Amino acid sequence: MSIFQKISKFLYMSELKQKLYFEGNNEMTREEKDYINQIKRQNPFGLIVFLLGGASFAFGPKFILLPLLTIILFFLTFGTFDKEKEDNPWTFYIGLGLSVIGLYMNLYELLHEDYLYY
């Protein structure tokens, strides 16, 4: 078991992911639920990391909290990724990459506006 899975299991992230997946499925029949379960989908935490990574890239040069929060969320939730049930881990990777760029820009005091007029 990888370190990411141990962290996610310790913080009960897998149970939270199951609640996010099946919150609105109360009115479905058993056959419909089985059909939906066999379709590969995105990890909800991966989408959150992806969106926060975009915000970190956009606003990270001014606010250091966004990139740090995104990187911490990545390490806490990456262990919930299941290769058999979910499509791909790229939402995690792209969100992490964008937040690292935002953190780098904040640490070296770079802004997006500095590169507009070359």
Q: What is the pLDDT of residues 73-112, one digit of tens each?
A: 999 988 888 888 888 899 999 999 999 999 999 999 888 8
Instruction: Read off the pLDDT of residues 56-75 as tens digits, 9 standing for 90 and up.
Output: 999 988 999 999 999 999 99
Question: 98 near 54, Cβ under 8 Å?
Answer: yes
* Alpha-helical regions (H) of 1-111: 3-10, 13-22, 30-38, 44-59, 65-77, 90-107
Whether residue 60 contacts residue 84, with contact meaning beta carbons closer than 8 Å, is answered with no
Strand (E) or helix (H) holding 26:
none
Tokens of 83: 């290769």
Contact 100, 57 (CB under 8 A): no
pTM: 0.76
